[in-house]
């Protein structure tokens, strides 16, 4: 956004991110450390703003299983605060980071937006509830909203250090250190892993695509290809130089087996096409962690 000349304001409570991630642009953006739970802070944040890209969440399925109240506060109450503040500040459009977890363990693959959602974890329920709030604020108040259902986003700067971190950030950092990763279950579960640049692109497209095609709507953002965890481990071996085997542990509660997106709606309405495929994304991500 800076590269194309936009003025940027960033709000983050730094609960999973780090200020050092934006160190090289900090003097060119208006960054404020606040929580979306704070409505007054959201009102200040939305003043004079054209577009809100709402990515803030407690993003973990297992964490939400342990702490459903915390997930509900951050992932639903926080969203409603952002929407109320955006509506009152007359923001042009709000783009929201929704989640593929909304589909749950429905056997149909690929998942498409017209399917009924079947969320399993509290995280998935909260992410889906916020999607409904997005639609509601468009229909009740005319605030243009677009929900992007992200499918397992990964890439540089993702925090690998928490037990709730995304699997690729964990595997890559462990394998680079020569430490053994743990696969929960048989490793045949699969995901439509999506490199971060594709999600960034989708957000920018969601701001500029015509309202008639996008407002009050939900779109899958993914690559349209799924890869099993066992295969992912194999792809990471040569990239990281890891010589050992993975360890297998019990299946994780609330986990879903397979995830794969139909991305034709995003293509038709937003002009979205994944620019970086899985292998290239893995290569870039490993390079980044290696340089740390």
Binding site for ligand UD1 (CB under 6 A): 59-61, 99-101, 150-152, 166-167, 170, 182-184, 189, 191, 229, 252, 255-256, 259
Q: Give least dist CB 101 to ligand UD1, A.
A: 3
Q: How far is the CB of 88 from ligand UD1 (least distance, A)?
A: 29
Between 31 and 164, name the residue whose CB sits nearer to ligand UD1: 164
Q: How far is the CB of 182 from ligand UD1 (least distance, A)?
A: 5
Find out whether 221 and 272 touch, Cβ atoms under 8 Å: yes
Hey, CA dihedral for 224, 228, 229, 234, is it positive or negative? negative
The C-alpha torsion from 135 through 195 and 124 to 15, rounded to 10°, is -100
Element (H, E) at 45: helix 39-46
Pairing verdict, β 190-191 and 227-228:
antiparallel
**Which residue out of 96, 123, 195, 272 is catalytically annotated?**
123
DSSP 109-152: SSB-TTSPP---SHHHHHHHHHHHHHHHHHHHH--EEEEEEE-S
Whole-number minimum distance, CB 141 to ligand UD1, in Å? 28
CA distance 60 to 65: 9
Instruction: Give dist(CA 38, CA 36) in Å, integer.
Output: 5
Q: In the complex, what is the shortest distance from the CB of residue 244 to ligand UD1, in angstroms, rounded to a whole number?
A: 15
Q: Cβ closer to ligand UD1: 61 or 215?
A: 61
Q: Which residue's entry shows tokens 């964990």?
A: 170
Buried b (16+ CB within 10 A) or exposed e, 168-182: bbbbbbbbbeeeebe
Cα separation, 191 vs 267, in Å, equals 20
**Residue among 5 and 107 whose Cβ is closer to ligand UD1:** 107
Q: Which is nearer to ligand UD1, 15 or 182 (CB)?
A: 182
Tell the residue number behind the tokens 């909260």, with chain if given: 126
Q: Which residue is nearest to ligand UD1 (CB)?
A: 101
- 123 carries an active-site annotation: yes
In the bound state with ligand UD1, the residue whose beta carbon lies nearer, of 133 and 151, is 151
Residue 186 near residue 252 (C-beta atoms within 8 A)? no
Smallest distance, Å, CB 14 to ligand UD1? 18
Nearest to ligand UD1 of 40, 179 (CB atom)? 179
Q: Any idea which residues carry the catalytic annotation?
A: 123
């Amino acid at each position: 956004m800076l590269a194309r000349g936009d003025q940027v304001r960033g709000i983050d409570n730094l609960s999973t991110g780090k200020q050092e991630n934006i160190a090289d642009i900090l003097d060119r953006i208006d960054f404020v450390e606040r929580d979306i739970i704070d409505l007054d802070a959201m009102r200040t944040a939305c003043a004079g703003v054209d577009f809100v890209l709402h990515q803030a969440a407690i993003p973990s399925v297992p964490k939400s299983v342990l702490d459903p109240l915390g997930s509900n506060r951050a992932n639903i109450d926080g969203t409603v605060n952002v929407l109320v503040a955006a509506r009152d500040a007359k923001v042009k459009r709000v783009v929201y980071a929704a989640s593929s977890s909304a589909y749950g363990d429905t056997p149909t693959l690929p998942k498409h937006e017209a399917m009924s959602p079947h969320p399993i974890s509290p995280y998935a329920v909260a992410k889906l509830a916020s999607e409904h709030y997005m639609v509601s604020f468009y229909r009740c108040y005319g605030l243009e909203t677009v929900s992007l259902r992200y499918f397992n986003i990964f890439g540089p700067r993702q925090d690998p250090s928490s037990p709730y971190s995304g699997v690729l950030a964990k595997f890559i950092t462990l394998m680079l250190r020569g430490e053994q990763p743990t696969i929960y279950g048989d490793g045949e579960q699969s995901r439509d892993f999506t490199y971060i640049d594709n999600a960034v692109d989708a957000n920018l497209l969601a701001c500029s695509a015509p309202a008639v095609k996008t407002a009050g709507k939900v779109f899958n953002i993914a690559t349209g290809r799924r890869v099993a965890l066992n295969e992912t481990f194999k792809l990471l071996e040569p990239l990281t130089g890891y010589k050992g085997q993975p360890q297998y542990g019990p299946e994780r509660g609330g986990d879903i087996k397979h995830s794969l997106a139909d991305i034709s709606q995003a293509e038709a309405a937003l002009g979205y096409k994944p620019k970086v495929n899985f292998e290239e994304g893995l290569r870039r991500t490993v390079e980044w962690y290696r340089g740390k």
